[in-house]
Structure 1
C-alpha cells in the first residue's frame, strides 16, 4: 500500500482485528476447543471470518490492523473519560480471561500463514486503518464492527466500510449514499462531526446534552461542519435558536476536546508491510504445528482456499 513495486492492481482489505476477534469470541461457543480442551472459539471465528471476507470480496492485499495502544495517551489527555470505564485493575483493557490467550494464537497463525499484521506504538487500530487507507493505491474495504470507522468512507478515493454490526455474514457495504440514507450526512468526515455531537457512552464520550443523532445531522447540514457550528454558537447574530446555542455553549469544553478523540490520526507512522495475499504459507512447518496443537485444520484450510481463489 503501495508496496515497493508500486503495484496498483486489485482491492485492499483492512481488518479492524480487535473488533473481529471480540465478535468471534462472543459469537462462537466457548465449547469450540483445542485437543487439550483450551477454548479456540475466537481463533476459529476470526480465521473463518477472514476466509468468508476474502472469498466474498476477493482482495489481493490484506492487513490485520492491530491495537498497540487501546487507550492512547494523546486521547486521554484530551478527554480523561475516554474508555475510562473499561480500564481493568492492572491498567489494561477489560477482556474475558478466555480470550486473551487466544489473541496470542491468532498472532502466531497470521504470521505462519503469511497474512500481514501491523500496529503502531501509541496508536489504536483505528489510526492504523486510517493511515493505511490514506496510503492505499486502489479500492479499499475497511472491515469493522465499529461505527467510528464510517469517517473513513470516501467514494472518490474508493474507500468503503464493510460494517459487521450484525455479523460478518451480514456485513453492510457502507458508502456515502448509505451514510446519507442512514444518518443524513454526506461524507465520512461529516460522520465524525456527527459522532462528536452525539457522543458514545461505550467510549466515555458524553456528547452534547439534548442533541441527538437527528438534531446533530440537521445542524451539520445547515452549518457545514463542526467548526462552523461552533463559530455560529459563539456568534450572537447567528440564527441558532436560544436552546441550541445554550446546549452547544454548555458543552464548549467537550466540543473542543472530543475531535481529538473521535477523529482518526491519519498521520500515524505505520510501518510498511508486505500485504499481498499469500499464495502459500509463509512458514508451513510452524503452521502445521499450530494446526495440530490447536485443532485449526478446517479453518486454516478455508483461509488458504479463499486466498487461492482470490488470486486465481
Structure 2
C-alpha cells in the first residue's frame, strides 16, 4: 500500500503550544518562544514517528482578504487578534519547518483548510491517499476512502466510517451539518436551536442540504421529535443556511505555487543550527531535528 501524504494544519498546533507552555520560555535575546518550542516538539515527534516521504504544512495568513471574509465580513469576527508575542513566533515556526526540508504554503486569499483540501484532491488524482493532521472537525469533510483524519493527541485515526460514527454524518455531509448548526468557533450563523445532533438527524433523512431545502414541508412529516417546529425553523432561516454553507465548505481549487513538491528534502543543517541557537531549543530537540 502506498504511504500516505501528510497534510498538516499548522496553526492549530502553534496555538496549542502557546496555551500549553509558560510564557517564560524565551529566545536568547529574551523574546517569548513558548509557542515555537511546543511546535518544535510536535514537529519533531511527527517526523520521527511517521517518517513521511511526502508532507506539507499549511499556514494561515490574515483573514481580512480571504474569500470567506468577502462573503461574510463577520466571519471569525468573534476572535480576538493574536497577541504580539504569539504573532512574532509564527514566522519562526514556518522557518523551522522549511529548515527541516518540509514544504510550507500559505495564501492571502485562501485559508489553510482550503490549501489542504486542494492538495488532498491533487494527491488523490495521482493515486495517493492522505492523512490530514489537525484537531479541526471541519477538515473531516475532506476524508475519502483510504484517507484518515488524525489528531495526534488521540491515538485513533478516523477513516470515513469513523467520522460518521463520531459526527453522525458522512464526510461529504459535514459542511451541510455545520451550515445547519452553525459554527461558533468561526462565528458562522446557523439555525437557532439546531445543534450538530439534530442537523445530523435531518441530513440522514434528507441526504443532503440541497435536498432538505428543496422540500422543506417534508421535514414536518419526518418521524422526529418536534418535526413541525424544525420545519418552521428551516423555512425561516433558509437564507442564513445557504450563506453558511458557502462558508463551511472547504474550497478545493485554491491557487497553489507552480512547481510545488511535497517530497521531503534534506534538512538545511546550517539554517537549522542557527535557528535552534537563536530560539534556545532544548538539546534533545536539537539532536532529534
Q: Same fold (TM over 0.5)?
A: yes
Q: Partners in 2 of 1:236 and 1:141 — Cα distance?
A: 38
Matched-pair contact (CA < 8 Å) for 2:65–2:108: no
Match of 1:175 among 159, 167, 190: 159
Secondary structure, counterpart of 1:182 in structure 2: helix
Secondary structure, counterpart of 2:157 in structure 1: strand
Aligned to 1:292: 277
Aligned to 2:129: 139
Once the two structures are TM-superposed, the CA of residue 124 in structure 1 deviates from its matched residue by 0.4
Secondary structure, counterpart of 1:33 in structure 2: coil
1:34 aligns with 2:31: no
Once the two structures are TM-superposed, the CA of residue 31 in structure 1 deviates from its matched residue by 2.3
Matched-pair contact (CA < 8 Å) for 1:131–1:268: yes
Matched-pair contact (CA < 8 Å) for 1:193–1:259: yes
1:196 aligns with 2:179: yes
TM-score, normalising length: structure 2: 0.89
Question: Deviation per CA, 1:255-289, whole angstroms, max 9, x where unpaired?
Answer: 111111111110111124232223x323x222222
Aligned to 2:106: 119
Q: Partners in 2 of 1:81 and 1:249 — Cα distance?
A: 23
Question: Deviation per CA, 1:186-211, whole angstroms, max 9, x where unpaired?
Answer: x2111121111111112111211121
Secondary structure, counterpart of 1:64 in structure 2: strand
Q: Partners in 2 of 1:72 and 1:259 — Cα distance?
A: 19
How do 1:1-312 residues align onto structure 2 when only pairs under 5 Å count?
A: 9-86=2-79, 94-136=81-123, 137=126, 138-155=128-145, 158-163=146-151, 168-170=152-154, 172-185=156-169, 187-233=170-216, 235=217, 239-240=221-222, 241-271=227-257, 272-278=259-265, 280-282=266-268, 284-296=269-281, 297-303=283-289
Q: Partners in 2 of 1:195 and 1:201 — Cα distance?
A: 10
Q: Partners in 2 of 1:146 and 1:217 — Cα distance?
A: 18
Change (3 A) 1:61 1:159: same
Secondary structure, counterpart of 1:117 in structure 2: strand
Matched-pair contact (CA < 8 Å) for 1:118–1:273: no
Secondary structure, counterpart of 1:63 in structure 2: strand
Secondary structure, counterpart of 1:254 in structure 2: helix
Matched-pair contact (CA < 8 Å) for 2:220–2:231: no
Q: Partners in 2 of 1:13 and 1:259 — Cα distance?
A: 27
Change (3 A) 1:74 1:105: closer
Q: Partners in 1 of 2:262 and 2:93 — Cα distance?
A: 17
Change (3 A) 1:68 1:34: closer
Q: Which has the higher contact order (CA 8 A, sep 6+)?
A: 1
Q: Partners in 1 of 2:207 and 2:243 — Cα distance?
A: 19
TM-score, normalising length: structure 1: 0.83
Give the gaps of 5 or more residues in structure 2: none
Q: Partners in 1 of 2:252 and 2:66 — Cα distance?
A: 16
Question: Deviation per CA, 1:225-248, whole angstroms, max 9, x where unpaired?
Answer: 000011121x57973532111100
